[in-house]
Amino acid sequence: MKLVLASNNPHKAAEFERLLPGYEVEPFGGELPEETGASFRDNAELKARHVHRAIAGADWVLADDSGIEAAALDGRPGVRSARFAGEGASDGQNLAALLAALDGQDDRSVAYVAELIAIAPDGWELHARGELSGTLAQEPHGGGGFGYDPAFVPEGETRTVGEMSADEKDAVSHRARAAARLEAQLDSAAVITDRLLLRPFQHDDLEAFRPIWADPEVMEFIGAGGAREGEAAERLLAALIDSRERHGFGLWVIVPHEVGRPVGWAGLMVPEFLPAVLPAVECGFGLGRGWWGRGYATEAAAAAIAHGFERLGLERVISIVYPDNVRSIAVAGRLGMRHCGDQTHPATGRALRIYEKLA
């Protein structure tokens, strides 16, 4: 699969090809927007969305922004890492400025941070963040790397990044860590079935899901039970997006081809609310009430389980169901899952049934 990188730098494209094996990464080559964001994520989004519009969604787009944050400086240089000593400053000048800013400070802890964003041709997005923590040496050592590498000592190391080989740096760098998280999400990005598009949750899905999550009948058996309205719906959406970024997979939005808008959710997630069943991956699903009885939940959940076995290499998938949730029990049966145990919801004390399917 080709990724158009929101950069004109062929060396950066080559680095991402190393970090994302199996992907062809091609530099954009056109004009890029000014990086005016307040965070690395803001700047990555600015560039990715600009290139996505410029190529009219012809290919996937990849963008990044990264830099260094010093704890004693409240996170600076941050988004000004490339110009900490002023516009047009060299790497050496920026490093000298940071060394001077930390002179005499007891806390010399720093972190490299990288934010990546990938945008699919039809516009939905994946985000990944990588960090490398360490300390800033009193003076530069080594001639490798670039930027702040000659003074950055990663946690657990005695050498600076500037003294490490390129392969050693690739193995631990913030950009490598972000790329690994993004690669996992790309592998689980979307699935198309006969009737459904299953794609990741986006922040702008909130308005489509507000009425679904506010319906007490829909939400009766979701989590601890009860409707999610207002800020509770916002927190739920943020948690679903965060879970995908942390684990590399998550719940998908169900979009029937003939409808063209979200009607529910299905996918795989780690049931962190129930430690007694961990380690495990759960298949979850839910639909707006107007879409019950059409087989969408079974079709989407079957695709999720197949993805777990075939793409993620899972050996077992579970489903956690309330005993009086007859619809979900019926779906579990159609999926070929078997009842394998019982638990109690830690927050409510309500009984739970555990169903499983083995690869």
Q: In what order do the strands lie in the sheet with 338-344?
A: 191-192, 196-200, 251-256, 264-269, 282-287, 316-321, 351-358, 338-344
Residue 47 scores a pLDDT above 80: yes
Weakest-pLDDT range from 8-12, 39-43, 268-272: 8-12
Tens digit of pLDDT for each residue in 304-345? 999 999 999 999 999 999 999 999 999 999 999 999 999 999
41 confidence band (pLDDT: 50, 70, 90): very high
Can you tell me the mean pLDDT for 143-149? 86
Q: Which of 189, 64, 24, 53 is nearest to 123 (CA)?
A: 53
Length of the chain: 359
CATH 3.40.50.2300 fits 191-358, yes or no: no
Give the separation between CA 25 and CA 1, rounded to whole angstroms: 9
Read off the pLDDT of each residue in 194-205 and give the average, rounded to a whole number: 97
Say which DSSP state 36 is in. Answer: -
Position with higher pLDDT, 167 vs 50: 50
Average pLDDT over residues 90-110: 95
Q: Is the pLDDT of residue 145 over 80?
A: no
pLDDT value at residue 42: 97
pLDDT of residue 269: 97
Query: 105-142, pLDDT tens digit by residue?
Result: 999 999 999 999 999 999 999 999 999 999 999 999 99
Residue entry with tokens 């530069």: 140
Return the exposure string of 19-46: e unless at least 16 CB atoms fall within 10 Å of the residue's CB, then b. bbeebebbbbeeebeebebeebbebbbb
Mode of pairing for the β-strands spanning 264-269 and 351-358: unpaired
What is residue 167's predicted lDDT score, i.e. its pLDDT? 87
pLDDT range class, residue 275, cuts 50, 70, 90: very high
11 vs 357: which has the higher pLDDT: 357
Cα dihedral sign, 269-273-278-284 = negative
3-state secondary structure of 355: strand
Residue boundaries of the structural domains of the chain: 2-187, 191-358
- Which pLDDT band, with edges at 50, 70 and 90, does 15 fall under? confident
Q: pTM (2 decimals)?
A: 0.87
Query: For the residues 254-280, what does the mean pLDDT come to?
Result: 97
What pLDDT shows up at residue 299?
A: 98
Known catalytic residues? Answer: 65
Q: Extract the tokens encoding 1.
A: 């699969």
Pick the CATH number of 2-187 from 3.40.50.720, 3.90.950.10, 3.40.710.10, 3.30.365.10: 3.90.950.10
User: What's the rounded mean pLDDT across residues 252-272?
Assistant: 97
Give the span between the Cα atoms of 315 and 89, in whole angstroms.
Answer: 53
Confidence grade of residue 11 (pLDDT, cut at 50, 70, 90)? confident
pLDDT at residue 39, as a whole number: 96
Read off the pLDDT of each residue in 189-214 and give the average, rounded to a whole number.
96
280-302: average pLDDT: 97
**What is the rounded CA–CA span in Å between residue 91 and residue 34?**
20
Kindly report the average pLDDT of the chain as a whole number: 96
3-state secondary structure of 50: helix
